[in-house]
């Protein structure tokens, strides 16, 4: 049997060491979350919990966390649907027609992200109070849409731009109305991009914290707000469980985005 | 269905893409619009399809003025340069699209799609129909695009450089097939290309365009053998250009004089094709019917089918093709008088150019 070349062996060892290092960087902070979520009792200076158990998982699943998860999910769905209904026609228009001040319009959607989040949302909150929309689901939906629109508008504009206009012209040419051509040609081709855009908006809303806390308090409870409240109360176990649950959609997003977000969309980002 | 445009004008901002074009496209014929890029040929085609509204003039199909009609109502079908096949539909769905819009019953759709795919000779129809366009070769994709346009029996078939994305061999073959197919279906066809060889090969009528205007229109033979101006002559073939001065009885090129009996006076452009001239070792004897120009052979390239010689005549380099190699050195370029085109120069040479003014006798 031929012996492996010493160089190969060294390289394999190095690669494995690098892998372990990367895994440690990524998973070490997460592992503490996992440990905390199963902890009953853990006092300093003990290196490991003194008592483990499912007590807090049971408590969380019976109690408020489930309510927060539900309302957060509900809000994210509404935000996603409304945002995309507004975005698709606008993005199509921006991608296909010589709209004046195109760059300025696209920049407007970025503005809420261009300044520190806190002052922006505090100002928005006072406005929403005047409109009697504060501490309500509609107020939270509005504030989420302000932040989410940029993701949807920018991605969808890039998606529509990546579809050659001649594909629709070919349909018009054969007698299809503009609406018919849009739904039989542009939309099916934009679907992968639409899925990616949907996920971005959904996750933005699902994970949004500052605006939700300021606008939604005290009645609207979403998962990030719930996590904040419990960790402020030093219930680290509950906060850890909430964090772990919050992570799930993010991981799902990574997997799905990898499938649907095509590189040509990204290459269109700067060229609008 | 004959097609006419009258005084067609199209501007993009301050750029005039179509500068008052009036031309007819004969019914049932194949007309090529030929010109360099940016000459307005694609703009004209897109105006005919109705994609770009025009700023002035009329477009008439038969007896119907279609200038204001949207593309859906024009009854044209276009074959695009990039094929523009829908990648998310099968070949069958691509071709059937126009028929389904016209509410043709499913059984008839199937029959007509198969018939037209047979017509464009795509081969293995049953297998190809279920595939996505992306799985086909460029040549096959173009056949599908042609089938998709033909299946709706358009009044006018528009083709926008349909073969320019194919490699040379496939292009040559499809060129012949497109022409045969057009003769068979007899649909008025307008074919845009920047390739002069393709235009001459494929069309019954060639319209040569430049800078938003029609330069010359006629049969391929007319355009090729009887170009009406320097642009037409230059564009149609590997041409050589020399500056000269014409007077009654003689034509001077630099220090050399040629007999001349034509009507041009003053600054003139002499044009001849590389294939019409021959290089002979320096020889001062005159021959009737031949224009002789002395020069220096500077370089020779082997092209496979023959040799291309680069000869410097009075400071300008010209190309002369021949089957036999000629050695570098002083030579004479012989051009049959009827193959030497002489045009009045559109704008006079600047007298401030010392290199040129010294050559003016």
Mark whether A108 and A47 lie in a shared domain: no
* Number of domains within chain A: 2
> How would residue A4 be classed by pLDDT, with cut points 50, 70 and 90?
low
Find, among A9, A187, A234, A17, the residue nearest to A92 by Cα: A187
Mark whether A85 and A40 lie in a shared domain: no
Radius of gyration of chain A (CA): 24
Tens-place pLDDT, residues A46-74 = 888 888 888 888 877 777 778 888 899 99
Note whether B101 contacts A164, CB cutoff 8 Å. Answer: no
CB contact at 8 A, A200 and A252: no
Tens-place pLDDT, residues A174-198 = 999 999 999 999 999 998 889 888 8
Q: What does the pLDDT read at residue A168?
A: 94
Mark whether A226 and A201 lie in a shared domain: yes
Residue A1 domain flag: no
A259 lies within 8 A of chain B by CB: no
Interface test with B, best of A98, A159, A164, A174 (most B CBs within 10 A): A174
Find, among A200, A198, A197, A227, the residue nearest to A212 by Cα: A227
Q: What does the pLDDT read at residue A62?
A: 76
Interface test with A, best of B43, B48, B88 (most A CBs within 10 A): B88
Mark whether A50 and A134 lie in a shared domain: no
Mark whether A49 and A72 lie in a shared domain: no
* CA distances in angstroms from B314 to B58, B235, B241, B264, B310, listed in the order given: 49, 23, 12, 21, 13
Q: For B46, which residue in chain A has the nearest alpha carbon? A: A169
A187 lies within 8 A of chain B by CB: no
Interface test with B, best of A168, A169, A175, A194 (most B CBs within 10 A): A175
Mark whether A50 and A130 lie in a shared domain: no
**Helices B138-150 and B106-119, interaxial angle, to 10°?**
130
Question: Which stretch of DSSP H or E encloses residue B259?
Answer: strand B256-260
**ipTM at complex level:** 0.78
Q: Which of residues 124-183 of A touch B (CB under 8 A)?
A: 164, 166-167, 169-177, 180
Q: What does the pLDDT read at residue B69?
A: 92
Q: What does the pLDDT read at residue B354?
A: 35
* φ and ψ at residue B99, rounded to 5 degrees: -70, -40
Q: What does the pLDDT read at residue B26?
A: 92
Bridge partners (DSSP) of residue B344 are B268
> Which residues of chain B fall below pLDDT 50?
347-361
Q: What is the CATH number of the domain that holds A262?
A: 1.10.3720.10
Domain range spanning residue A91? 59-268
Note whether A166 contacts B70, CB cutoff 8 Å. Answer: no
- Rounded-to-integer distance, Cα B173 and Cα B178, Å: 9
Q: What does the pLDDT read at residue B29?
A: 92
List every span in chain B annotated with CATH 2.40.50.140: 238-357
Q: Higher pLDDT residue, B210 or A271?
A: B210
Note whether B84 contacts A167, CB cutoff 8 Å. Answer: yes
Note whether B72 contacts A177, CB cutoff 8 Å. Answer: yes
Q: What does the pLDDT read at residue A195?
A: 86
Q: What does the pLDDT read at residue B359?
A: 32
Residue A171 domain flag: yes
Residues of A with CB below 8 A from B112's CB?
none
Secondary structure E strands in chain A:
39-41, 51-52
Residue A154 domain flag: yes
Mean pLDDT of chain A: 85
Question: Which stretch of DSSP H or E encloses residue B100?
Answer: helix B91-101
Note whether B148 contacts A170, CB cutoff 8 Å. Answer: yes
Residues of A with CB below 8 A from B71's CB?
169, 172-173
Q: Higher pLDDT residue, A230 or B329?
A: B329
> How would residue A45 be classed by pLDDT, with cut points 50, 70 and 90?
confident
Half-sphere exposure of A21 (CA within 13 A, CB side): 6
Residues of B with CB below 8 A from A176's CB?
72, 97, 101
> What is the CATH T-level fold of the domain B238-357, as seen in this structure?
OB fold (Dihydrolipoamide Acetyltransferase, E2P) (2.40.50)
Note whether B71 contacts A173, CB cutoff 8 Å. Answer: yes
Find, among B59, B64, B26, the residue nearest to B217 by Cα: B26
Tens-place pLDDT, residues A112-124 = 888 888 888 888 8
Mark whether A243 and A122 lie in a shared domain: yes
Residues of B with CB below 8 A from A162's CB?
none
Mean pLDDT, rounded, for A120-130: 89
Gap from A158 CA to chain B (nearest CA, Å): 18
Q: What does the pLDDT read at residue B350?
A: 32
Residues of B with CB below 8 A from A184's CB?
97
Q: For B86, which of A177, A180, A185 is closest by C-beta distance?
A: A185
Mark whether A18 and A63 lie in a shared domain: no
Note whether A189 contacts B87, CB cutoff 8 Å. Answer: yes
A and B: number of Cβ contacts within 8 A: 55
Radius of gyration of chain B (CA): 25
The CATH classification of domain B3-225, taken from the options 3.40.50.2020, 3.40.50.450, 3.40.50.300, 2.40.50.140: 3.40.50.300
Mark whether A206 and A238 lie in a shared domain: yes
Q: For B86, which residue in chain A has the nearest alpha carbon? A: A167
Q: What does the pLDDT read at residue B360?
A: 32
Residues of A with CB below 8 A from B85's CB?
170
């Amino acid at each position: 049997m031929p012996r492996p070349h010493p160089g190969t062996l060294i390289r394999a060892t190095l690669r494995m060491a690098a892998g372990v290092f990367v895994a440690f960087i990524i998973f070490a902070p997460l592992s503490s979350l996992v440990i905390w979520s199963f902890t009953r009792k853990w006092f300093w200076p003990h290196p490991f919990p003194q008592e483990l158990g499912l007590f807090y998982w049971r408590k969380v699943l019976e109690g408020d966390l489930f309510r927060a998860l539900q309302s957060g999910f509900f809000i994210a769905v509404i935000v996603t649907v409304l945002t995309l209904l507004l975005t698709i026609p606008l993005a199509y228009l921006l991608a296909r027609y010589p709209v004046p001040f195109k760059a300025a319009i696209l920049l407007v959607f970025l503005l809420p992200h261009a300044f520190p989040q806190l002052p922006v949302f505090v100002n928005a909150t006072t406005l929403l109070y005047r409109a009697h929309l504060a501490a309500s689901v509609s107020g939270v939906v509005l504030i989420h849409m302000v932040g989410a629109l940029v993701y949807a508008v920018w991605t969808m504009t890039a998606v529509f731009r990546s579809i050659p206009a001649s594909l629709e012209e070919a349909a018009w040419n054969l007698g299809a109305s503009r609406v018919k051509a849009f739904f039989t040609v542009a939309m099916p081709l934009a679907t992968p991009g639409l899925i990616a855009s949907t996920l971005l908006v959904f996750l933005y809303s699902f994970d949004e914290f500052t605006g939700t806390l300021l606008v939604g308090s005290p009645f609207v409870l979403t998962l990030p707000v719930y996590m904040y409240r419990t960790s402020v109360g030093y219930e680290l176990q509950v906060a850890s469980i909430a964090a772990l649950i919050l992570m799930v959609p993010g991981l799902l997003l990574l997997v799905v985005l990898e499938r649907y977000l095509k590189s040509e969309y990204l290459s269109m980002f700067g060229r609008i | 269905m004959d097609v006419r445009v009258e005084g067609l004008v199209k501007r993009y901002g301050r750029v005039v893409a179509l500068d008052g074009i009036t031309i007819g496209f004969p019914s049932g014929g194949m007309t090529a619009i030929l010109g360099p890029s940016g000459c307005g040929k694609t703009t004209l085609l897109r105006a005919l399809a109705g994609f770009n509204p025009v700023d002035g003039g009329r477009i008439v199909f038969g007896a119907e003025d279609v200038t204001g009609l949207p593309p859906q109502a024009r009854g044209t079908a276009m074959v695009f340069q990039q094929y523009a096949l829908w990648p998310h539909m099968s070949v069958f769905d691509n071709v059937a699209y126009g028929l389904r819009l016209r509410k043709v019953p499913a059984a008839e759709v199937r029959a007509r799609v198969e018939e037209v795919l047979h017509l464009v000779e795509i081969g293995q129809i049953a297998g190809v129909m279920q595939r996505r366009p992306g799985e086909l070769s460029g040549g096959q994709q173009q056949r599908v695009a042609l089938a998709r346009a033909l299946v709706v029996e358009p009044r006018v078939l528009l083709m926008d450089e349909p073969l320019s994305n194919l490699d040379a061999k496939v292009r040559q073959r499809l060129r012949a097939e497109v022409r045969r197919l057009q003769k068979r279906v007899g649909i008025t066809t307008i074919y845009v290309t920047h390739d002069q060889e393709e235009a001459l090969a494929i069309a019954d009528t060639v319209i040569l365009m430049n800078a938003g205007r029609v330069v010359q229109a006629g049969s391929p033979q007319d355009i090729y053998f009887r170009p009406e101006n320097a642009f037409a002559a230059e564009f149609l073939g590997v041409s050589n250009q020399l500056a000269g001065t014409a007077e009654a009885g003689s034509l001077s090129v630099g220090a050399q004089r040629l007999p001349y009996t034509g009507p041009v006076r003053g600054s003139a452009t002499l044009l001849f094709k590389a294939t019409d001239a021959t290089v002979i070792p320096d020889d001062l004897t005159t021959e009737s019917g031949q224009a002789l120009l002395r020069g220096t052979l500077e370089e020779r390239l082997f092209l496979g089918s023959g040799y291309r010689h680069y000869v410097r005549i009075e400071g300008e380099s010209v190309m002369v093709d021949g089957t036999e190699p000629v050695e570098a050195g002083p030579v004479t370029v012989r051009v049959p008088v009827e193959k030497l085109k002489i045009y009045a120069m559109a704008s006079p040479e600047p007298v401030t150019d010392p290199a040129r003014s010294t050559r003016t006798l």
